[in-house]
Amino acid sequence: MMRRLLLLFALLSLAGCRPEPGAQTPTPSASLSPAERPAVVVRSEAIEKLALELTGKAASPSEMAQAIYSHLTSKMVYSPESTQQGPSVVLREQRGNSKGLAELFHSLATSAGLKSKVVSGQVKTFSGDIREPHYWNAVRLPRGWVYFDVAQGIEADEGQKAVWSEVSPQEMRFTHSAPEFGATPADWKRWPRLLPSFFRAGFKPGPNPLGESKAGVFQLSVEKAEDVSLEGTLVGVDGSDIEGAVQIQQSQGGADVKVYFPSAGDYQLRLWSHSEGASASVFVGSHILKAGEGVALDARPTPSVAVASPSPSTSQPAPVFQPVEGIAQEIQLKAFQLAGHLPTEREKAYALYRYLAETIRYDTDSYYNLENTQYPDQEALAVFRRGNAVCAGYSNLFNEMAKSVGLESEVVEGLIKGSPGTPEDRRLHAWNAVKVDGRWQLLDSTWGAGSVSDKT
């Protein structure tokens, strides 16, 4: 009898000091600082086991946080439209929105003994849009609070994922907006989008980070290290570079940027850093500019220094947007944004495949609605605007996006084995063939988007 009482007491004690798997704490107001804001913590067996595997051999809190971040950015899929709930679901499905990914990072970090918080606010995207709400993490290291953005890290190109790890508050505030960063939303929206790589390359904003416009010329000054140079291009609304519109004068401790607008309109200034001895330039930031009546390009003064017109790789010319007849411009611009700067056909095809697989939802409602005799419009533009599709829509949209960046692509229609996989159970399906390095390759972005069961 005594043994049973002791066992019952032990079970009750455990229940009182540790939440049940899947239990969540309320999320408080986003106005609190990272040090004050609690967040969802889930300590399931799977999460604690993974936390131990990832951080067991780490020698410092920084290495522990980096190990968790590296695992999530390499293994997880960022799905902004995902509606899943809780870190355990994100871990099991290997995908999540920014909130789910941040809560999973937080649960792993907390399980490993790190002091971690979830931060919510806004983030600037490459295109200049504002994404909100957006979630990322703050981790307390010996040098203070630093930030990790798993969602941004997943979206980053290979080799650039570390940009969004262990970022200081002073650096994070140029891309992310949260109350603890001290800038009003109106001011923050006007700031240039300076990536953490801008600061790590040895640059600092000048006295006026917004820059200023005088007589149709935009001017911006930055401080820099001696062994790095700043490069830039001006891009129009159609995604094409405006040749020679950016002039940069380098000095020992800084760089003065002048932008000459060809006419009134919206533009994007893109900035790269180039270090001595490096084979490629690194993208470090951008700035959305709205020009009034500008100075004609032929009125520019002749520069006394070389004009910097880089691309991500110094061995490649800057990509130029070339419209394709018969394809909606908004599809072409999105494809160019995703893949126009990539140097190889394989990288272009993969970037477009990943975009479709991660952002277009499978239309389970239409697929399982037996009373429907016709699906919604599966043409590329309709799918692009609607954000969901069945296989025909996926393949049509990939086909047009691929052609928008110069790839040869075709829609393939045929039969596939359905559940349970017997030869008799075959279903109509559509996928793509794309020519990569002279050889036709097959890809299926529908299946890349995941699997369905009944209506889930």
Instruction: With respect to residue 333, please indicate whether it lies within any of the assigned structural domains.
Output: yes
Separation between Cα atoms, residue 223 and residue 252, nearest integer Å:
9
Both 107 and 214 in one domain: the answer is no
Model confidence pLDDT, tens digit, residues 153-191: 999 887 788 999 999 999 999 999 999 888 888 889 888
Q: What is the pLDDT of residue 425?
A: 58
Both 163 and 39 in one domain: the answer is yes
Q: Quote the domain boundaries for residue 347.
A: 329-448
Number of structural domains (the chain) is 3
- 145-149 long-range Cβ contacts below 8 angstroms, 24+ apart: 145/34, 145/35, 145/169, 146/65, 147/119, 147/172, 147/176, 148/65, 148/69, 148/105, 149/98, 149/123, 149/176
Burial grade of 297 (CB within 10 A; 0-12, 13-18, 19 or more): middle
Identify the CA nearest to 97 among candidates 149, 45, 147, 146.
Answer: 149
Q: What is the pLDDT of residue 31?
A: 35
Instruction: With respect to residue 223, please indicate whether it lies within any of the assigned structural domains.
Output: yes
Do residues 309 and 400 make contact, with C-beta atoms less than 8 angstroms apart? no
Helix (H) or strand (E) holding 87: helix 87-93
Is 80 exceeded by the pLDDT of residue 344? yes
Q: What is the pLDDT of residue 40?
A: 60
Q: What is the pLDDT of residue 418?
A: 64
Q: Can you tell me the mean pLDDT for 222-236?
A: 91
Separation between Cα atoms, residue 273 and residue 312, nearest integer Å:
9
Site of tokens 């994007």: 268
Instruction: With respect to residue 169, please indicate whether it lies within any of the assigned structural domains.
Output: yes
Do residues 336 and 321 make contact, with C-beta atoms less than 8 angstroms apart? yes
- Say which CATH number the domain at 396 has: 3.10.620.30
Rounded to the nearest integer, the mean pLDDT of the chain is: 81
Instruction: With respect to residue 337, please indicate whether it lies within any of the assigned structural domains.
Output: yes
Do residues 254 and 206 make contact, with C-beta atoms less than 8 angstroms apart? yes
Higher pLDDT, 217 or 75: 75
Both 118 and 250 in one domain: the answer is no
Instruction: With respect to residue 9, please indicate whether it lies within any of the assigned structural domains.
Output: no
Model confidence pLDDT, tens digit, residues 426-437: 678 999 999 998
Q: Can you tell me the mean pLDDT for 125-152?
A: 93
Both 182 and 35 in one domain: the answer is yes
Is 80 exceeded by the pLDDT of residue 395? yes
Q: Of the candidates 153, 168, 191, which is a domain's last residue?
A: 191
Is 60 exceeded by the pLDDT of residue 38? no
- Say which CATH number the domain at 252 has: 2.60.40.10
Separation between Cα atoms, residue 31 and residue 87, nearest integer Å:
23
Both 66 and 173 in one domain: the answer is yes
Is 50 exceeded by the pLDDT of residue 124? yes
Q: What is the pLDDT of residue 1?
A: 40
Do residues 145 and 139 make contact, with C-beta atoms less than 8 angstroms apart? yes
Both 360 and 339 in one domain: the answer is yes
Q: Of the candidates 131, 161, 191, which is a domain's last residue?
A: 191
Separation between Cα atoms, residue 437 and residue 179, nearest integer Å:
49
Sort residue 216 into left (φ over 0), alpha (ψ -120 to 50) or beta.
left
Q: What is the pLDDT of residue 146?
A: 97
Label residue 241 by pLDDT band (50, 70, 90).
Answer: confident
Model confidence pLDDT, tens digit, residues 307-333: 334 444 444 455 667 788 899 888 988
Identify the CA nearest to 408 among candidates 427, 431, 435.
Answer: 435
Both 169 and 234 in one domain: the answer is no
Q: What is the pLDDT of residue 426?
A: 63
